[in-house]
Amino acid sequence: MTDTFVALSDPTRRLLLDRLSEEGGLTLSDLSEDLPMTRQAVAKHLAVLEAAELVASERDGRCKRHYLNPVPLAKMARRWLGRFEDVPMGAIAGFRSQRPATSPAHRI
C-alpha cells in the first residue's frame, strides 16, 4: 500500500495514470507527448507506477504498451475511503455543534 501512496504523490505520475485511464495501450512516446520532460524522465515515472502495480505493460513487437491496473486503486479506496461512505450526516452535524461556546469565533 505504501508504494501506491508514493506513486500517487507525484502530479506527473497522476497525469500519466489519467492518460492511461482515458486510453490504454499507450507507448512511452505517446505518454511523453506534450510533457515538459524527457522520455527518460517519463520512463522513470512509469517504473515507479509499475513497481506499485498501478500500470501493467506488455510487449507489442518493438513497442511496449502500458495499461492502467485499477486493482490497487480499488483496494485503496475500499480500505481508506469505504469506511466513510456510510457516515450518517447527523454525525457530521453533531461534530460541528461540539465546538465550545467560548471559542474565539463566538466572542465577536
pLDDT single digits (tens) 74-95: 888 888 777 777 766 666 666 6
Q: Name every residue whose Cβ is closer than 8 Å to that of residue 106 and which is 6 or more positions away in sequence.
A: 99
The Cα angle at residue 54 between residues 13 and 82, in degrees rounded to 5? 100
Q: Is the dihedral of CA 83, 73, 19, 41 positive or negative?
A: positive
pLDDT value, residue 82 = 73
Residue 99 predicted with pLDDT over 70: no
Q: Name every residue whose Cβ is closer than 8 Å to that of residue 29 and which is 6 or more positions away in sequence.
A: 39
Which residue blocks in 1-108 are alpha helix, DSSP H?
A: 2-8, 11-22, 28-32, 39-51, 71-76, 89-96
Residue 65 three-state SS: strand
Residues 19-59 have pLDDT tens digits of: 999 999 999 999 999 999 999 999 999 999 999 999 999 99
Reported pTM: 0.74
> Strand runs (DSSP E) across the chain, as ranges?
55-60, 63-68
